[in-house]
Amino acid sequence: MMRRLTWFATGVAAGALGTNYAKRKVRTTAAQLAPGHVARTTYEVTRRRARDVVEAVRDGREAMHAREDELRARRDGRLVTLDEHVGPADQVIVDGRPVEPGRVVVLRHVE
């Protein structure tokens, strides 16, 4: 008789805890699916994505302007390559780091 009572009490406790857990889970999920929460989350995600697009466009424009400056300098004869100034045994250092001469572009301002 005592074993049955112990198993019964354990089952009641497990049932009560399981019901309480399920109730909390349902409330949390319902709150996440509420129209206000969905709208707020959608707005925040859209805002982040829009910010990413704006930054990508800004980066693209900066790269475009840099490339245009390089092409104009090449057209006007203001582009100086390091090959003209660096010998085969010389090492090029930019910002304290060694680099390959072909990876550096030097623009002169001619007035």
Q: What is the dihedral of CA 70, 74, 78, 84, to 10 degrees?
A: 100
**3-class secondary-structure state, position 11:** helix
Tell me the whole-structure pTM to 2 decimals. Answer: 0.50
Q: Tell which wins on pLDDT, 105 or 27.
A: 27
Query: Residues 1-25: pLDDT tens digits?
Result: 788 889 989 999 999 999 999 999 9
Both tokens of residue 72? 């104009």
Q: Say if residue 26's pLDDT is above 70.
A: yes
Q: pLDDT tens across 63-79, in order?
A: 999 899 888 988 888 87
